[in-house]
Structure 1
Amino acid sequence: MRDHSVNNLNGNGFSSDHQHQEAEIFNLRKALDKVISYWWLLSICLAICLAAAWLYLRYATPSYKVNAKILVQDDSKGSDNGEGVLQQLELFTGKGNVDNEIEVLKSRSLMEKVVRELQLNITYYVEGHVKKIEQFDYLPFTLDWLVLNDSLQKASYTLTIEKDNGIRLTGHDIVKQARWGDTLHLPEGIVKLKREEGYSLNKKEYLININSVDATVARYQKLIDISAPNKQVSIIDLSLVENVPRKGEKILNTLIQEYLQASVDDKNRIADSTIGFIDNRLVLVTKELSGVEKEIQDFKQSNSLADLSEQAKLLVSGSGDFVRQLTELQVKLSVVESLQKYIEDYKNNKRIVPSALVVQDPTFVGLVEKYNTLQLERERLMIANTESNPVVQSIDKQISGLREDIRNNMASFRQGIEASITELQRNSNLLNDKIRQVPAKERVFLDYSRQQAIKQELYLFLLKKREESAISKSSNLAAARIIDTAKSDSSPFTPKRPIIFMIGLLAGLAIPAAIIYLLSMLNTKVLGKEDITSQTPVSVLAEIGHNPNNDIVAVKKDSVTPLSEQFRALRTNLQFIFTQQDEKVILLTSSMSGEGKSFISVNLASVLALSGKKVVLMEMDLRKPKISENLGLENQTGFSTYVIGKTPLESLIRPSSIHENCFVITSGPIPPNPAELLLQPKVKQLFAELRERFDYIIIDTAPIGMVTDAQLLAYLADITLYVVRHGYTYKQQLQLTRELYSQKKMPKLNIVINDVKMSRSNNYGYGYGYGYGYGYGYSVNSNHSSKGILKRATRILKKS
């Protein structure tokens, strides 16, 4: 005795849980099969997307990445530029800071020099077959702008070479005729057409775009990437993405050269200022020294002096220390006085203050260095600004304040020197009192000698400093050196061919997948087993394929078509549903008309009759009978006339043309009250009699989704087969089976899927039924050996 849980078995005896696990295993395969079933759509989309990718790569303007690398002499990174000798002279170190140098490279003034030098605000194009191609450097002509407005709007001109080598320039509603070497007055300025020898005019028409210098500078400031690779090195990387590789290389190389030259120029300005100051002082000191030496010469000649006395030597020896100290202080005092005159001279208020040659006070040196830095910054700003600029005025205020601080510092320093000189002179006077016995002539000579020593030492000091400044200037190096000059990559930076083709390939796969998914989401009809299992807990008993013929009887004797084999599989699966010996009534219903109940009923009766069972087929769709019509049976009498007592039972049961073991009870004339007829007591008596006479009773009823006829007959049935038609039944209609199953309104409810059409997308969707087990060569025209195999298989199924 089988358990009722067998009702949950599918058409091959597997449990529903096992079927769900199997569905999960094949879920990916089903999705792939569904996509592959639309291979034509997949092929078209792949071809279109890959062709679009190829066309994009064919006609897109490639951009190339240009890279350059420089090394900054950064003292914080320990770099050295070979200026050890100059560092010992306490002059110019020539070192910088990486972050500062990056900002200098990004400065607008530096980029403006590059734009103006290379005329980057003017671009030249030639017309190709599909797109315009930019030309740079190797041009057969150039526009030499004698005057170019800075605030011009973007403009375009077309230069056409005419047959007589004349030139026509059109644009801005302007048409000008000219020849090479002519000067034209345009709204943007004055331009001279210059023919470049050595280049032929291959094209007859050129497009010239003119942009403002400011806009071009701003554009390239954004395009050029300047950065340090990491904080451990003093290397700066420069990169630029440009359509023309040669143009990108020239822009970066010119930017680096302008940066290096600006660095050297800043150092040379300081050196030139110092050398100029020393030269002026040397002229004055030389005159003073020559005057003192002349006075000594005159004094000795007038007094006939050749040597000093022994007494004078002793006195000089005793006062040597005082004289030496006094000399040093007077030298410092002289330098300080000269610096004070230089600073107080307002003609020099915009010039750099010379280095503190003698004054070694740290505060003073710091003020001078800061003052000179602000002066250099002011000069750089004045290149592109006026004195009314707020930044320039702010720097002027800082310079004025620093100048006052330097003046006050020097005044304090001078007072200290003067006080020291006063003290030394006082001590010297005490010593002079002791040597008053020395002849007056010798004392006068000592005064001359003292003056000579002061002037001579000052003269030598200035000569030494001038030579050091000259050496420094001649060996001034830039704050950086070039490691790698600008070089473009050999392959385009954008677009990247592999990525574009990959995008085309992915789009060619994604678009049809999205279309298929959208169609699947918008579909409201049953197309796969998952459409059924997601809507109802009722098990699928079998799948019946599409009937290509108009004949309602698809299962005949010795028939070996796939469709007949599917009905044989349905017959086998029914054996697992019948759990009691007296169970033999099969009721077929559906959601609506046209789902194939009559077709399933007729062929189920046929396949059961072929197995040797005695079967009666009842046409119980009293509203729209089809079986009698399709089998060619007269329907003047039948169930409706039997119930009202006009037809006896023996006349009710008729032989069918299907098989000798198959009989038919037609519906009879369509009654006005079908539901009331089904409630008559004679209906129950009829079924009791039929159970005694037949092995199987098959009831073809009206759709349960339309009328209640099937539910009225449910108590007489043992098994209910709910017919669902592939591509015809709506998913929402399956909710009715859920209600029937949960409320147990129909006995042993199972689903039979009808009219399944073969395709890869549903090959695995319906389990092991249609499309899985028929790869053994069965066909309508099978040979004799195939029929023998089928007969043996049929006998085995009967025994089961």
Structure 2
Amino acid sequence: MNNKSESDPLLLSSQKIDFSVFFKRLGKKWPLFLLTGIICLFIAHTSYKSTVTTYEINSKLFIYTEGQSINFFEKLQNVTNSQNVLLDNEVVIIKSNPVIKSTLEVLDLKVGYYVPPETTSKNFWSFNKSNLPIEIYEDAPFEIELKENDKSIEEKFFRISWVDSLSYSVRFVGDEPTTSMFNSNQDEGSGKSYVCKFNEWCGLPFLTLRTRLLEAKNDGNFLFKIRNEESLISEFSGNLAIYPATTGGSILDIRLITNNPAKGEDFLNQLMNNYLFIELDDKNSIATNTINFISNQIQNVSDTLGVIENELQNFRAANQTTNISSEGEVIFGRLQSMGEELAKEKIKKEYLLSLDRYLRNNDFDNIVVPSLVGITDPTINSLIDELINLQNEKSNQLVTLTDSSPIVIEQQKRIVISKKNTLELVKSAISNIDISIDDLNYRISEISKDFRKLPFTEQNLIKIEREFTLNEGIYNFLLQKRAEAAISKASNINNNKIIEQAKANALPIGPRKLNFYGYAIIITFLLPVIITFLQETVFKKLVDPSEIEKLLNIPVIGSIPVAEGKTNVQLVDYPNSKVAESFRLLRTNLNFILPNSESTVLLVSSVLPAEGKSFTSVNLATAFALTELKVLIIDCDLRKPKVSDYLGVDNTAGLSNYLSRRVDDESTIVKATSIPGLSCITSGPYPPNPSELIANKEIIKLLIKMKDQFDIIILDTPPLGIVSDSMSLFPLVDVSLLAFKCGYNNHKGIVELNKLKSNDFIKKVYCILNGVDSHYHIGSNKNYGYYEVYKDNKGLVNRVKNYLRSSK
């Protein structure tokens, strides 16, 4: 055995794999290789045959970034909303559900049209793509229009067959779905066909549809499927890939994987057009709002102008006058000039009041650019432009983020600050306009003093003409501003452009036979290797006694093979078995190390339960008793005692009674067994405090008294790795024996055993290997025929077990 210092658990867990043993055991797993290969190749073959052919659709889109072409009108009038976003954000926007959804709505893919499978072969090996419905897309000779349908029938196939040139039948493929009735006149039934007429609405239990013939056909047999919107979006989104065509460039390479090239091309082209439309619509929104605002003002002025024009004509006709005196002309001109200024100021005020309402209601979609209504204050114009840009950036962020995102929260803070500054500036501008309006009204009132000196008829004529001329000027001013806004809107162009229209590759990209069968071959070899590797590392159980002995820091004093038969007292029931001889050898080895005293105390324990410590205790005690020594075995495992069961002794009273001082006379708990020279003290009733009882000083008194009566005392104690009861007994014994079950324990058990070596209060500690396979056990070779084997080796199960053991 190797001499080692205290072992580190990490050192033990990192033991190098013995590759010679590893490959030897791997070679014995050839049936697993064969089985894995058959299964993997079968799955690969059927998967390849049943996988639909797929194509790759490619297109390219140019994305405008800051520093490239700038629209002149955008810079001049700040009409359009300039966007400066990162390329990654644009990718997310293009792949967003709203953009894909609008694309699908334009293409009208709610209903899919298919050709039925060509064959229905029941031979699974012949299962191939002809067994799957084939989508015909644009080649369908009919078109289905839906009015309503039940959600339960979405993503399921229906068969439509021509009855004659005027009617057709519809049948759900498979069982009839459980649906709400849309038409109470129709009956439900499993697999029932419903006859409908072409070009007429037809109410079925599960949907209402109208089928229009696109080609004159007397017969036909097709399938159709009503697509679920979420499923359809997910299908296209999952097969869509967008990434920069070059590093640092602004051209996006857009790719789509689909089994229908025509549909894929239409989808990508429409997707790019929708994205460009959204961008242009955003840029035109402000100009459109401006035109709408001015148009409303023009409508009001136009109505007023028409009324005043009629009034002026009627007045002149009634008073037979058409001219104004020279003095009246001067007064009229002054009033006219002041009135035009006053009208413009009122328009500005009305705009600012509407702007204030929009800002307070967070209605950024209806904001009009200030410069187009005559407000030239650069501060207001810049703040409005900044606020709109901030809001658009937030809208882009919300495509992929939520309101609770830190980025969106920070953006909202900037919007609040900008809106607050804008509202304060708008309030100040309204106050300034009110001052201008008051000043103009005062000046008009002063001019009106001279006006009242004119003849009454001339005064009325001037009033009407002034009002007419004033509204006519406002009307012309608004027409001019609307024309400017329309020019600005018309001058807007898409900064982003389609570089390449969608085009499908001529050759399909899948399925690739090499991938299917290649992966099958890789898995065939890899899976058994992984299983063997895990068995040798993570899940490795220590089986080889020589390997265990190398890892242990404590000496191995004996090895016990797998027990023959079902008895627990091997030396009595099978005295000539390998197990019995192993205990005799263990007894001999112990005689060399036991102290030369009149009485010796041995302790038997283990790290884990079920490692055979009680089996070892009973058989070792029997081995000593057969040499005419007086032997006592004490069952110190107060939690799960087994000695009484092994020896067939009553457990009514035992060690727990004595340690709890319920029994004063120790002789009442010492019981004779059927084996001459062997007595035992059973555990007794289960106590509430087993750890405290074992640590009681009464155990010392008991051992002192028992030493006077017995030559060998064996303590069967609880497992060390489960409870601490045994630790208090180690100082009381002469020799400690620890059972280690081969093929049951792992490196962790070795670590626990090695820790005992460093404890000073443990005098002599040795290891007994239990459950050693006959392949490893000494004397298991072909010369080992001297000892009787008490089992039937003629049975098939036993022969298989023996073969597996010998092949290890």
TM-score range normalised by the length of the shorter chain: 0.3 to 0.5
TM-score, structure 2 normalization = 0.44
Larger-Rg structure = 1
TM-score, structure 1 normalization = 0.44
